[in-house]
Structure 1
């Protein structure tokens, strides 16, 4: 790591202004972050749903705690210098809770925090049965998040889930209120058409986030087209997790059926690749440097 965290945050803020639909794959743990970095992506999305699924084996229904989230962010920040955009769900409570959450996540290594306006306990943005808090309460939490950051270049991304409940115009009204409250970016979750996505970037002045959820409500759209629409960030929050789930199921099914993995050996990372991804060579160098004679 040749730059400071402050330098990387500043560079990330500059990059966001390009509005070129930078893709952020999601990581729920440090190994997934290693794979994302190894594939040459420019930033990582620390996904709350991914942490719930991988760490707890549970759905994205507000079960992850702040302590668990901080631990995950710290572990990922330890092994990569890529900017981390961290999903902090609803901020774990009211405006005061949100302030504490932002401070802790920023200190853990985040370049940006994303907070939503759902009622706690929240649900995945593409689940049914969501509800949003009153607008004045949501605005208060955005203001608290902005005030909490220690580095002015830490981005505050304010997400609204109102589209699925009150319609697109209500969601855009909320997003505009969040911008007035100081949000650096907004994220209107679950638009249902390209026309709605265009309305988001046309009406809202600050950089925007698009969320590509396989099987979700928003049409899967190519990066070039999203850049043309003017989005800054494109989340593939759980694509790596979905790929890993399918691969694990296929390999384990073959192991159960055959009694070995010969038939699916090509689906496994070999021993050398596994050690490379977790930087075994780098740790060997450190061990040799500090070896006691």
Structure 2
């Protein structure tokens, strides 16, 4: 299923949206990814499939894959976490379904976050990192064809470079469901979610073609492998959907417990960024210079 066009409407299966970000006419291209659920099984058999790819590959995600072969894609759940991804040198990011549900609603990923809310979160994330391609989790897109079309258009308008689109009934049958990709024309990559062993990971790489996506979830059932290892098994997008969420939650809990128990963070300053470090993360100096430059322009215009 195309992530960016409604197949029921027989629209083109992939689009390129042009937005004015920092340079007029800058193209923010879209990549679609599809996945489908089946019942979980300890002895799951991976179905041989063929990933559909377009004749052209003129998108930022395609270019990254062609350049690096395997791309590590950490998750971000707000504008700040997206900016941190960019500052640490990552080339792409994603917005998983669980992370915004937790950060926005303090609720688990049970379908409580609606597509318009995800699009709004994508808008703030993409605005913070306009030159980093962001892939958003569109879940099922809203179930029916019209809702899927609206979801995809909203994500394109928000600046997303692509999305994961599921084809499955809601609610999800199990959090450990093995995902088998539904590969119609327009899906740029396939995702088999929650393989339970190295053997399954290898088998997926051997029995599918086209671009492959692999989720690396800390504490999950899928073996944690390095990018080089996954590249050797034929994977191209290595998504860490919960890394930043888990790390930030753990760090906040630690320092809040210390504050509650001791009444002060005086002995735990090494756990936090300093005032100066945090301002640097937000590029405060650049914003001050920009404000001064704009003010000088306005002052000069008023004098003339």
Q: What is the TM-score normalised by the length of structure 1?
A: 0.78
CA shift, 1:122, in A, is 4.1
Between structure 1 and structure 2, the one with the greater Rg is 2
Instruction: Please show how residues 39-118 of structure 1 align to structure 2 within 5 Å.
Output: 39-80=88-129, 81-118=131-168
Q: Does the CA contact (< 8 Å) of 2:60 and 2:133 recur in 1?
A: no
Structure 2 counterpart SS, 1:62:
coil
Quote the residue 2:28 is aligned against.
6
Aligned CA-pair RMSD: 2.1
Quote the residue 1:239 is aligned against.
243
Flag the 1:215–1:228 CA change in 2: closer, same or farther, 3 A: same
Q: Does 1:214 align with 2:263?
A: no
Question: Which of 270, 275, 278 is the equivalent residue of 2:274?
Answer: 270
Quote the residue 2:284 is aligned against.
280
Flag the 1:284–1:122 CA change in 2: closer, same or farther, 3 A: farther
Q: Does the CA contact (< 8 Å) of 2:29 and 2:161 recur in 1?
A: no
Moved over 6 A (4+): none
* Structure whose residues are more often helix by fraction: 1
Question: Which of 192, 203, 207 is the equivalent residue of 1:203?
Answer: 207
CA deviations on 1:220-244 (whole Å, 9 max, x unpaired) are: 1111100100101111111111111
* Count, aligned residues: 247
Q: Does the CA contact (< 8 Å) of 2:75 and 2:242 recur in 1?
A: yes
Q: Does the CA contact (< 8 Å) of 1:45 and 1:84 recur in 2?
A: yes
Quote the residue 1:259 is aligned against.
263
Q: Does the CA contact (< 8 Å) of 1:88 and 1:115 recur in 2?
A: yes
CA shift, 1:117, in A, is 2.2
Q: What is the TM-score normalised by the length of structure 2?
A: 0.76
Indicate the structure whose relative CO is greater, using CA pairs within 8 Å and at least 6 residues apart.
2
Q: Does the CA contact (< 8 Å) of 1:194 and 1:219 recur in 2?
A: yes
Gaps of 5+ in 1: 129-160, 164-170
Structure 1 counterpart SS, 2:164:
strand
Quote the residue 2:186 is aligned against.
182
